[in-house]
Amino acid sequence: MTSAWAQSEAVPTTGDVFMQLVPFALIVLVMWALVIRPQQKRARAHQEMIKAIQRGDMVITAGGLVAKVTRVVDDNEVDIELSDGVKARLMRRMISDVRTKGEPRS
């Protein structure tokens, strides 16, 4: 039989633990800078665009329909006209883009 070598338990020092966490911190920082921050900016810009919708704006819905806003019902809904005589009520959050601004508020 061979003799077993006694091994001491390695206790990491603070410098070692810090050096092990640095790569994870860098990954989180890069993900925040490249993914999360731009996504938050786009969401904020979309929310501001939706708040500024008024009567007469030409909008594109999330389904790809192009419509004209005929009336702002409340903070959550607008009435749209898809074609002559074809009207619908749409949730504001389902508007993906505003193509042209319409008449000024009166």
Q: What is the pTM of this model?
A: 0.66
Range of the domain at 85: 52-100
Domain of 93, CATH number, reads 2.30.30.40
- For residue range 20-68, list pLDDT tens digits in order: 889 999 999 999 899 899 999 999 999 999 999 999 999 999 999 999 9
Quote the distance between the C-alpha of residue 42 and its chain's center.
Answer: 6
Q: Which residues make Cβ contacts (< 8 Å) with residue 95, sequence separation at least 6?
A: 50, 53, 59, 60, 61, 62, 78
Quick check: is 71 in a domain? Answer: yes
Q: Is residue 58 part of a domain?
A: yes
Q: DSSP per residue over 27-51, as a string?
A: HHHHHIIIIIHHHHHHHHHHHHHHH
pLDDT at 103: 62
- C-alpha 63/C-alpha 66 separation (Å) is 9
Which tens digits make up the pLDDT trace of 1-21?
A: 555 565 556 555 666 888 888
- What is the residue whose two structure tokens read 């003799």? 3
Q: Please check whether residue 89 lies inside any domain of the structure.
A: yes
- Total structural domains within the chain: 1
